[in-house]
Structures are given as C-alpha cells and as structure tokens.
Amino acid sequence: MPFTIVRNDITKMNTDAIVNAANSSLLGGGGVDGAIHRAAGAELLHECRLLGGCKTGQAKATKGYGLPCKHIIHTVGPVWRGGSHGEEQLLYSCYKNSLETAQKLECSSIAFPLISAGIYGYPKRQAIEVASRAITDFLESCDMEVYLVIFGGDSLLISEQMFGEIQQFIDDNYVEQQPETRQRRLSGGFKLNIFGKTANASAERKSAPVPPMQIPPAAAASMSEPAEDFMDEMVGMNSMAMCESTSLGALLEKQTETFSQSLLRLIDERGFTDVQTYKKANIDRKLFSKIRSDKDYKPKKSTVLAFAIALELSMTETDKLLEKAGFALSPSIKSDVIVKYFIMSGNYDIFTINEALFSFDQTPIG
C-alpha cells in the first residue's frame, strides 16, 4: 500500500530514503537525530557540515552511508509554542519538502519519523493529523511508498475518545472463538444428530459406501401397490436430485460477477475514476491494474475491505463484495470488528481506520 504506519526503528528501514528529524545545525543531536548519526557514521557528520544548516520547514539531502537507505533527507520541525506561531504550516512543509526532495532523487520509497512529536513538544494527535494530510496530499498526484515509523510501545494514534468508542464496540461485538469449535475443525469432524442418534461426520465419510438397493424378484412380485408407489416415488426423487445437480452445474458454469467485475461496476455506479478509487483505497496503481485486467483476480481480504471503504459501501454492500472474493467479516477477528465499527459509523477515511487498527495492534488494510 502507498502509505503505511509501521512499528520499527527508522535506522533499520530498507527504503530509498529515510527522513531525519534534525535540528537547524544538521550536526546531530538527541532522539531520532542522534540515532541516525550514530548508525550512519562519521561520514554523515562531515557531509552535513558542508550544507550550512537548514531552516525550519525546509529539507536537505545527504547520502545514507552506514544505513540501509540510499539517502537521508534532513528536515527541521517546529518547536510547539501553543499552536499560534505557524507550527502547523511549518510541520506540513517538513513533510511536503521532504517528499518533493525524495521525488527529485527518484526515490520510490521513503520512511518518516513522527516529526516534532518528541522533545519539540508537538501534540502527538495533531502531529499525526498533519503528517497524514501532507502525505495523502502528495500521493494524490505522485506514486511513492511512504512509511510513517512509530518507535517502541508508543501506539495510540487516535484520540482517546475514539479509542474508547472502538473499545466499547469491540466489547459489545467481538466473540472469541470457542476452543471446542477449533478442536472440531482440527479433528476434521463434527457431530451430527440423525433421527436421535449421534454420529461422527468424519467417521461417516470414511465408512464404506452403501451398495445400491437390491430387491429379490419374489419380493418385488409380492409388493403391495403402496410399496410399488413408494419405489416409484424414490426413483422420481432420485431423478429430481440428478436434475437439480445438473442445474447447479449449469449455474456454476454461468457464474455471476467475479470480484473484479463487481468492483468495476461499483466504481462506474459511484461515478468515480479509477485513480480516485485506488488512491482513496490506499492501493498501489500496479495492483489496481492487475485487478482491472484480470476478471478472475483473487484479492486479499484487506484489499477488498480497502475498496469497500473507498467506495463508501454500506454494510450489506460490503458483505456482498467480500462474498465475491470468498471472504466474510467475522466477529472472532478483531480487525474485522474495528472495520465494521467505521462502516456503521459512516467514517470512510482509510487513514483514520488504519491509525485505529495500528492503535489496537492490528494489521492495516489496503
């Protein structure tokens, strides 16, 4: 997906570029800045001395040196002074100028720390909002893999109010899978109650097939008329079953819309363009091209959910689109319950949804 929030050490990110939340001297400091300088080595400090510093909101690039990235893009975030001194505009410029610098360097991927949210005191929730807005604005017209790297156990990216509402929804709707259900699935069988008798389905499947009914001639000749009627009815039912089976086969051959066909129809019905759809779904252009060109494309569940969010489908419509791909939302999967919360709340911002999934230690969609 083009924009992903990950938990990692930014010095370990194997991207074309990483962003350093630097101070104006570019000569190293604490936090992320110090960690990057230590990992890159003394050559980075030597090159930084030649750059002559950097103004707040601007960005300058160096080589990656001892890091797994090709380039380090240094940007200076604003110090929080209450929010009335242009901090938001300056922070937005940090992301914008860093992304534009990466584009000039022909980078296909870049990783950001959460700029200014450490010792510079920018409120974390607001810093997340600015970062998401700047990155998504850039991705509307450019293709690049962008990562926002969160370090350590600091995981709450959404407001405490939203976190509480989602937690309550999970408490009301999440159903843990019962151990005995899992055991039945693992053992390959389940119990059937047949005319008051209990049998094990897996054992039944392994038993020898029942031979066709054999009726001795003498018994057939002595059959009463009702018995003959019963046999005729049995033959008729068998024929009907064969017809139904043939009809089912015909239906399968004339399969209804595939996932790809359903998706493209929904895009047309909503009046969206392809670009609007895959950008809003946080889906890579190349992946969307595969889906469009292959009517039998088999997507991941997270991809289907991302398109459901992008197209602002109702819960019923989402269930139908998932069914086309062979999936369904489960009350035993926490991420499914969280996505359902957003759909039922009418909140179709995929980046907010992914921030919520991240805050609950779930895999993002897209």
CB-based burial, 349-362: b 16+ in 10 Å, e otherwise: ebbbbbbbbbbbeb
- In sequence order, what are the residues at sequence separation of 6 or more whose Cβ sits closer than 8 angstroms to the Cβ of residue 3? 132, 135, 136, 139, 146, 147, 148, 282, 351, 366
* Alpha-carbon gap, residue 16 to 102, rounded angstroms: 8
Q: Which amino acid is at 184?
A: R
Residue 229 among the catalytic residues: no
- DSSP β-ladder status, 197-200 and 191-194: antiparallel
Rg over alpha carbons for the chain, rounded to the nearest Å, is 30
Show the tokens assigned to 359: 């805050």
Q: What are phi and psi of 139, to 5 degrees?
A: -70, -10
Q: Which of 128, 22, 9, 29 is nearest to 69 (CA)?
A: 9
Per annotation, catalytic residue among 9, 16, 33, 229: 33
Per the document, the length of the chain is 366
Q: Read out DSSP for 105-166?
A: TT-SEEEE--TTSSTT---HHHHHHHHHHHHHHHHTT---EEEEEE-TT----S-HHHHHHH
| Catalytic residue positions, numbered | 33
